A = this chain, B = another copy of it.
Amino acid sequence: MSLRDLLVRLQAGEVGVDEVVEHVARLPQRELGFATVDTQREARQGVPEVIFGLGKTPAQIVGVARALVEAGQNVLITRLEKDAAAVVTEAVPGLRYSELGRIARLTTTPVPPRVKAGKIAVVTAGTSDLPVAEEAAETLDALGLVVDRHYDVGVAGIHRILHRYDTLRKAGAVIVIAGMEGALPSVVGGMVRVPVIAVPTSTGYGTALGGFTALFAMLTSCASGVTVVNIDNGFGAALAVHRIASLREHAEEAST
């Protein structure tokens, strides 16, 4: 019931002042309600609830996962280490685990492919960037976005990325994942006009600084309009693409 309806009913003497005061006191949740409404819409669309596994015990993860399954929701667990995964997958039937991407999924309601959003290119500089790439790819897939993988195409063999020129220019967005000197997003950003989201990885040693050199290099990239997420945060890059894709889908709906 909207505030206006309630006020009309107050005018009509159908409700008392106290009832309205109490209603208003709860306004931020009920009427503005930032999260609640969204959650329900997401549930309707089959988008999974996400459990961030890092720092949670297997028992805690199982508890949340089961509750989601019972509510008929899809489940996506990120940063799930191998040992914990063994416990969790046994306790939650139907959960599928990707060791490479440290991610587990259970799909109750299949998400239809969001073809209007275009293919999302996931590009890595080296093979050691694959865990982060797979975290991004699995998350994109769970969100219904179509993934196009281009792995191990770093700048030391520049022809490898040049060959993807046409493909990348037609992507719905490009996620570029690189560790060490983090140079690949500059090259890709100079090649394509679509949104480019750079993910630094913690691969490398010494002056790689656990990913900070790649992070800083990406932020100070000479290719304009490239944006960056946290080190190793494949999940965050996928969600950034999700924001862009949603906008585009709504745009198309609105323009219909």
A contacts, CB < 8 Å to B: 3-4, 7-8, 10-11, 13, 17, 20-21, 24, 26-29, 32-35, 38, 50, 54-56, 116, 118, 125-128, 154-159, 162-163, 165, 172-173, 180-183, 186-187, 189-191, 193-197, 200, 202-209, 211, 213-233, 235-240, 242-244, 246-248, 251-252, 255-256
Whether B247 contacts A231 by the Cβ 8 Å rule is no
Given A190-B35, A236-B225, answer yes or no on A219-B206 (Cβ-Cβ < 8 Å): yes
Whether B3 contacts A159 by the Cβ 8 Å rule is no
Interface majority SS on A: helix, strand, loop or mixed?
A: helix
Whether B247 contacts A173 by the Cβ 8 Å rule is yes
CB distance from A147 to the nearest CB of B (A): 17
Whether B186 contacts A156 by the Cβ 8 Å rule is yes
Q: How far is the CA of A162 from the CA of B220 in the complex (A)?
A: 22
CB distance from A92 to the nearest CB of B (A): 19
Residues of B within 8 A of A204 (CB): 220
Selected from B29, B172, B226, the residue in CB contact (under 8 A) with A240 is B226
Q: How far is the CA of A116 from the CA of B256 in the complex (A)?
A: 12
Q: Name the CB-closest residue of B to A125.
A: B222
CB distance from A256 to the nearest CB of B (A): 8
Whether B34 contacts A21 by the Cβ 8 Å rule is no
Whether A217 contacts B116 by the Cβ 8 Å rule is no
Residues of B within 8 A of A224 (CB): 50, 235-236, 239
Given A35-B157, A186-B181, A190-B34, answer yes or no on A163-B220 (Cβ-Cβ < 8 Å): no
Residues of B within 8 A of A223 (CB): 155-156
Q: Name the CB-closest residue of B to A2.
A: B21
Q: Name the CB-closest residue of B to A12.
A: B11
Given A4-B17, A236-B225, answer yes or no on A247-B246 (Cβ-Cβ < 8 Å): no
Selected from B13, B165, B242, the residue in CB contact (under 8 A) with A32 is B165
